[in-house]
Amino acid sequence: MANRTPLIAGNWKMNKDHLEAVHLVQKLDWALKDAKHDFSAVEVTVLVPFTDLRSVQTLVDADGSQLSYGAQDLSAQVSGAYTGEISPVFLEKLGVKYVAVGHSERRQYHGEDDALVNAKTKNALAHGLVPIVCVGEGLDIRKAGEQVSYTLAQVDGAFEGISAEDAAKVVVAYEPVWAIGTGEVATPADAQEVNGAIRARLAELYSAEVADAVRVLYGGSVKSSSIAELMAEPDVDGALVGGASLDPEEFAKIARFQA
Ligand SMILES: O=C[C@H](O)COP(=O)(O)O
């Protein structure tokens, strides 16, 4: 890996109310502090439900924690008559750093397409948030051996019309849908094949410098037992962790993959 700081991001999905969130963040923070985790060597963030954000912000500020936190989605709009939507302005005011965009569960259950993912990515960037753009193929595409072309088409869609300066700030998460929540983690070679292709596509779309700056994560059943070998691949710059991020000890172990 070049000079990219690895990012370990926990996606809580629709788990933990605001009271449970405080306990979980506190335990995670203690586990990392006990282990003298070096946040400048491996960044750690948690993507929590919207309703947890204010509590997590208060806790992180009060404890002087080096954990950052983020949201799991945002609106493509900024304000107005969009019932149920959450503006990037609200997220920015809550100290949010990262926001997941186009997670496969949003694509599958909420019909989010590449155009909407692109609009949300632009909206996040316009308001100082770092989008974690999620891409990845389903089992049928994998069985047909088309995982690279399918995923690169999603990358093309997400980055459409985004400047090189902004593109360099984006995080991409490759999450093969067949590996999400199934316990079936992709092999390091599987992850490297697509992550490497994503970086090569960014070099084509922009430049080697932009491709070198973008962190490309892997997600899908990541555990402390599998993270080190995934991170050994040159184009895996971190992980987007679902289920295992709900266990603070396990998630801290994942963040400490270098130890
Ligand atoms: O955003 C996270 C991914 O969907 C992975 O979830 P998982 O670690 O539970 O498989």
Low-confidence ranges of the chain (pLDDT < 70): 1
Q: Residue 113's Cα: distance from chain center in Å?
A: 18
Task: Return the structure tokens found at 31.
Answer: 């586990």
Name which residue sits closest to atom 3 of ligand 1, judged by CA: 242
Residue 1: the pLDDT is: 47
Residue 87 annotated as binding site: no
CA distances from 36 to 173, 178, 230 (A): 27, 35, 23
Assess whether 175 carries a catalytic annotation. yes
The pTM score is 0.97
Q: Which of 43, 103, 105, 233 is catalytic?
A: 103
Q: Which residues contact 7 (CB under 8 A, 6 or more apart)?
A: 42, 43, 44, 45, 171, 215, 217, 237, 238
Element (H, E) at 101: strand 98-101
Please give the ipTM for the structure prediction: 0.98
Rounded Cα–Cα distance for residues 123 and 115 (Å): 12
Among candidate residues 229, 247, 201, the one with its CA nearest the CA of residue 239: 229
pLDDT at 165: 98
Binding site annotation covers 13?
Answer: yes
Q: Ligand 1 mean position to 11 CA, how many Å?
A: 7
Read off the tokens for 249.
């000890």
Catalytic site includes residue 23: no
Extract the tokens encoding 209. Answer: 């410098």
Q: Write down how long the chain is.
A: 259
Contacts of 189 (CB under 8 A, 6+ apart): 233
Q: Is the CB of 11 under 6 A from ligand 1?
A: yes
Write a three-state SS string for 75-95: CCCCCCCCCCCCCHHHHHHCC
Give nearest CA residue, ligand 1 atom 7. Answer: 242
Residue pair 166/211 in contact by the 8 Å Cβ criterion: no
Active-site entry in 43, 112, 175, 233: 175
